[in-house]
Chains A and B, each alone.
Chain A
Amino acid sequence: MFEISPTEWTAILLSLRVAVIATLVATPFGIALAWLLARRDFWGKSILDAAVHLPLVLPPVVTGYLLLLTFGKRGLVGAWLADHLGIVFAFRWTGAALACGVMSFPLLVRPIRLSIEAVDRRLEQAAETLGAAPWWVFATVTLPLALPGVLAGMVLGFAKAIGEFGATITFVSNIPGETQTISSAIYSLIQTPDGDAAAGRLVIISVAIAMGALIAAEWFARRATARLHGQ
């Protein structure tokens, strides 16, 4: 019963690759944005904040369609990237990663922002009086102290990315071996007459991955917090 077929393996490995790449690429942007939202006041801040949260409230199919319009072969950005840098998103696994990255971005940013807001600014001032330029204050004080939030954001983003379905299937379709992730494979299998057993296996695997991610997040957060409090 629990024999995983090559097609299922392909979907599992693709899902992992898509979610890992999406999380790793999104994290630096997420940290930069979280810092901006936590520590800077500028015109249009509330608009930016709303835009970051948009994928959370929009129907995923809308986000996927907007990605298709923007990053598709004939999309404004997509055409330019394909012509000038040779980067193609449409109907490729990279497109799946982009869709997952966008969809998980609000979940990634939020814990990071909260943890940066919680960093004691008096410590940043102390660092400044000791000769640390703003970038070094961030790198040696703010970021290390916000690390539990960064890890929590990464794990939440990863969990969201691995389960993403609507935006991905809209943007890059459901091509086995290229864009068929666990979610879209389950979707296809449920619609196939004899697909129940295979769908069941993939369901169990996605539950296991999600549980593993949540337990890992908890463990990282506890370790990081203990480190910060000098235990």
Chain B
Amino acid sequence: MLRVDITKQLGEFTLAASFTSEGRVIGLFGASGSGKTSLINTIAGLLRPDRGTIVIDGETVDDTAAGIHVPAYRRRIGYVFQDARLFPHLDIRQNLDYGRRMNGLADDPVQRKRVVELLDIGALLDRRPGKLSGGERQRVALGRALLSKPRLLLLDEPLGALDEGRKLEILPYLARLRDEAGIPMVYVSHDAAELRQLATQIVMLRRGQVTAFGGVKVLTGPQ
């Protein structure tokens, strides 16, 4: 479960978002500049809200009135960025293992095998990120986030940097992830078609404000 009720001033731009979701995949929909990335960064703990609360899976991670701000590294979230952000000095195996090590989790070969198979990245394990295609990088980034055993997965336009063909290559993996991994997700996109395929709930943002909230059908309404 995710509960968000925050305001954040970013220069001239005001982000004011409030919603509660039990959905498996919350789609954050809006044009570029609508505040989607700022909102997801606030949920991740990379930005600190000026006012309000964020509750992830029953834990209050932000509460400005009570002075609570759990730093990003202790939120147990997974974050897949538009630009993968794999560590160039580590090979794919080490990239995948990074979150587990940093969180001090025990080695879990069963989960690793499952994630590697789910994302079809077994052949890449000994390579360096520099040798991967954009689509392969994004699949590894997904795996890296999953293997840190997050309680919430944040995806910021994970297909945004890919061409049409690559998008179609990744989409099935994301759908499998939604159906098999059992981790709630927040999925940011400006592409309604993408969200119709993946999201179970939609939060629509416009100029920093939530303008609609509900099932996928709100995407077909007036924007």
Are B98 and A145 in touch, CB under 8 angstroms?
A: no
Cα distance A197–B128 in the bound complex, in angstroms: 55
Interface residues of B in 106-160 (CB under 8 A from A): 127-131, 144-145, 148, 154
In the bound complex, do residue B148 and residue A230 qualify as a contact, i.e. CB atoms below 8 Å apart? Answer: no
Assess whether A230 is in contact with B131, with CB atoms less than 8 Å apart.
yes
Counting contact residues on chain A (CB < 8 A from B), the size range is 20 to 34
Distance (whole angstroms) from the CB of A130 to the closest CB of chain B: 4
Minimum C-beta distance from B81 to chain A (A): 7
Say yes or no: A122-B102 contact (C-beta < 8 A), given A128-B73, A129-B77, A230-B129: no
Q: A125-B46, A127-B98 are in contact. Are A228 and B88 (CB under 8 A)?
A: yes
Q: Does A50 contact B (CB under 8 A)?
A: no
A183 to chain B, nearest CB (A): 38
> What's the minimum C-beta distance from B186 to chain A, rounded to whole angstroms?
13
- Quick one: which of A202-231 are within 8 Å of B by CB? 227-231
- Whether B89 and A122, one on each chain, are in contact in the complex, defined by CB atoms closer than 8 angstroms, is no
Give the interface size class of chain B.
Answer: 20 to 34
> Whole-angstrom distance between the alpha carbons of A123 and B98 in the complex?
12
- When chains A and B are docked, how far (Å) is the Cα of A42 from the Cα of B62? 26
A129 and B98 contact, Cβ closer than 8 Å, known pairs A145-B88, A229-B130? no
Determine which of B88, B91, B99 lies in contact with A229 in the assembled complex, contact meaning CB atoms within 8 Å.
B88
Assess the A128–B130 pair: CB atoms within 8 A.
no
The reply on A141 being an interface residue by CB < 8 A is yes
B44 at the A interface (CB under 8 A): yes
Total of A-B residue pairs, C-beta within 8 Å? 79
Specify which chain A residues have a CB less than 8 angstroms from the CB of B91 in the assembled complex: 230
Chain A residues within an 8 Å CB radius of B130: 229-231
Question: With a CB–CB cut-off of 8 A, which chain B residues contact A132?
Answer: 73, 98, 102
Q: Does B87 contact A (CB under 8 A)?
A: yes
Return chain A residues, CB-CB under 8 Å to B77. Answer: 129
Within 8 Å by CB of B102, from A125, A131, A144, A145, lies: A131
Does residue B83 face the partner (Cβ distance < 8 Å to A)? yes
Chain A residues with CB under 8 A of B103: 130-131
Shortest beta-carbon distance, A77 to chain B, in Å? 38
Q: In this complex, what residue of A is CB-closest to B46?
A: A125
Partner of B81, one of A126, A228, A229: A126
Q: Is the CB of A141 within 8 A of B87?
A: yes
> Is A29 interfacial (CB 8 A cutoff)?
no
Known: A129-B78, A131-B103. A227 touches B72 (CB 8 A): no
5 tightest A-B contacts by CB? A230-B128, A230-B130, A130-B99, A129-B79, A131-B102
A-B contact pairs, 8 of them (CB 8 A): A120-B85, A129-B44, A131-B76, A131-B102, A145-B89, A227-B89, A230-B127, A230-B131
7 further contact pairs, Cβ within 8 A, besides A133-B71, A141-B87: A123-B87, A128-B46, A129-B145, A130-B79, A131-B76, A131-B102, A133-B73
Task: Give residues in B with beta carbon < 8 Å to A.
Answer: 44, 46, 71-79, 81, 83, 85, 87-89, 91, 98-99, 102-103, 127-131, 144-145, 148, 154
